[in-house]
Amino acid sequence: MFRFGLRRFATAAEAASPYGIKVSKAQGSVNGFVGAIGNTPLIRLGRLSEETGCDIYGKAEFMNPGGSVKDRAALYVVKDAEEKGLIKPGGTIVEGTAGNTGIGLAHVCRSKGYKCVIYMPNTQSQGKIDLLRLLGAEVFPVPAVAFENPENYNHQAKRHAEKTENSVWTNQFDNAANRRAHIETTGPEIWTQLGGKLDGFTCATGTGGTLAGVTRYLKEVSDGRTECWLADPPGSVLFSYITSGGKLNERAGGSITEGIGQGRVTDNLKPEIKLINNALHISDEKSIAMVYRLLDEEGLYMGASSALNVVAAYELAQKLGPGKIVATVLCDGAYRYADRLFSRKWLDSKGLYEAIPEHLRKYIVLE
C-alpha cells in the first residue's frame, strides 16, 4: 500500500510538471560551483510581448550561481589560463572590473583554490565591494580615469599581476576566452531554447564578450538571418561607432548603469563588429522606468543594465514588426543596487524620479 502511494505521488508530480521533470533529467547533477554556471532559463516577457505583437524573451542570467552573466566569462578566462599553463595551484588571479566579473571570478577562485585580486573604479556600489571582500577577494578601489591613463584600473591590475609570483591578469576586456564562453554556451542555449527560431538579439556591452560571442554563434547558425543589435547607454562611444560605420567615437554624459558602455572597441568585440546590424541608444530615463515595469508587470527584480537590455529588445521588436521573436540578456538582479534604484533621494539626485510612471512609484520604499 505504501509503495503504491509513492508511485501514485511520483506519477502525479510528473503529470503536474512535465517540463520541470524533463529539464531535471537533462541537467542531472553538477560538480561544484563551476558546474552550475550556464543553462539558465529563457523567460517570455508577457506584457511587453503583448504590446509589440512579438515574443520577447530574456535569458535569466541572474540565475547563475554567482548572480550574473559574468560567471560565464569568469570561468572561461580562468580555464584559459589553466589550459595555457599560466597559473599553478594556489596562484593568484588578478582582474580589473567595473562590474560583475569580479564577483564571478571571486566565486570561481574560491571553488578552485586560487587567490583573487580585484582592481575597480571607486564609483562602484559599496555592495559590490563588500561582497567581493566577503568572498575572500582583495579589492583595490582606485580613481576612475580613462583607459588611456596609465592609472586606469585595468593597467593597475596588469602591473599587480606582473610583479606577483604565480599570478595572471585575466584581461577580460581583450581576452578572447571571454567571447568564447558565449560562442560555446550562451548562444547555443538561446538558439536551442527557441527551437532555432529567432529574428533578433540585442544586449549592451562592456567587455564585448556577450554581444560578440552570441552574435557570432547566431549569425553562423541562422545563416545570417538573425539580426543582432547593440544596446548602448549614455556615455559610451559604441552607438556612434556602429551607426557611423566606424567613423565616429562620440560620447556624452554618463549613465546609472554599471559595467556596460565603453570608450573603445575591445579585442573581444572587434572581430565581430561587422556582424552587428545596428545599434540602439537607450536613455537612463527609459532604463529606470523599465526597472519598475519589470518588477510590477513580470515580478522580475532586475538591475538597470538588465532593464536597459529589455528596453532595447522592446524597441527592436517594434522595428522588426509583429510576429517576430526577439531575445536579450537579463544580466543580473537588483539586489546589489537596491539602495540606489529604489531610493527617492538617489533618484532625485539623478533627475530620474519623474521618469518613473506615477502608478509605479509605490515601489520607491527607501529614503
pLDDT in tens, 322-341: 999 999 999 999 988 899 99
Cα gap 136→110, rounded to integer Å: 8
Give the model's pLDDT for residue 146. 86
Taking the model in full, what pTM does it have? 0.92
Count of CB atoms within 10 A of residue 107's CB?
A: 27
Tens-place pLDDT, residues 215-247: 999 999 999 999 999 999 999 999 999 999 888
Lowest-confidence segment of 13-27, 46-60, 226-240 by average pLDDT: 13-27
| Residue 180 pLDDT > 90 | yes
pLDDT higher for 26 or 65? 65
DSSP 64: S
User: Known catalytic residues?
Assistant: 70
Lowest-confidence segment of 33-42, 94-103, 110-119, 164-173 by average pLDDT: 94-103
Cβ–Cβ < 8 Å for 270, 316: no
Provide DSSP, 248-288. Answer: -----S--S-SS---SS--TTTGGGGGG--EEEE--HHHHH
Q: Using 50, 70 and 90 to split pLDDT, how confident is the model at 117?
A: very high
Cα gap 269→255, rounded to integer Å: 21
> Which of 42, 38, 47, 69 minimizes the C-alpha distance to 57?
42
Cβ–Cβ < 8 Å for 208, 262: yes
Tens-place pLDDT, residues 140-177: 999 999 889 999 999 999 999 999 999 999 999 999 99
Tens-place pLDDT, residues 290-324: 999 999 999 999 999 999 999 999 999 999 999 99
Count of CB atoms within 10 A of residue 28's CB?
A: 7
| Residue 116 pLDDT > 60 | yes
Report helix, strand or coil for 151. Answer: coil
The backbone torsions φ and ψ at residue 317, rounded to the nearest 5 degrees and listed phi first, read: -60, -40
Start-to-end Cα distance in the chain: 59
Lowest-confidence segment of 45-54, 199-208, 250-259, 272-281 by average pLDDT: 250-259
The CA angle 257-262-268, to the nearest 5 degrees, is 120
Residues 87-116, mean pLDDT to the nearest whole number: 94
Residue with cell 527609459: 286
| Residue 209 pLDDT > 60 | yes
> Which of 101, 271, 98 minimizes the C-alpha distance to 179?
271
> Which of 325, 323, 333, 326 minimizes the C-alpha distance to 298?
333
Give the model's pLDDT for residue 3. 55
Which H or E element spans position 330? strand 325-330
Q: 88-165 maps to which CATH number?
A: 3.40.50.1100
> Which of 148, 335, 336 minimizes the C-alpha distance to 249?
148
| Residue 28 pLDDT > 80 | no
Q: Using 50, 70 and 90 to split pLDDT, how confident is the model at 248?
A: confident
**CATH 3.40.50.1100 domain locations along the chain:** 38-63+176-363, 88-165
Which H or E element spans position 117? strand 115-121
CATH classification for the domain delimited by 38-63+176-363, as one of 1.10.540.10, 3.30.980.10, 3.90.79.10, 3.40.50.1100: 3.40.50.1100
Give the model's pLDDT for residue 8. 61
The whole-angstrom distance between residue 358's C-alpha and the CA centroid of its chain comes to: 29
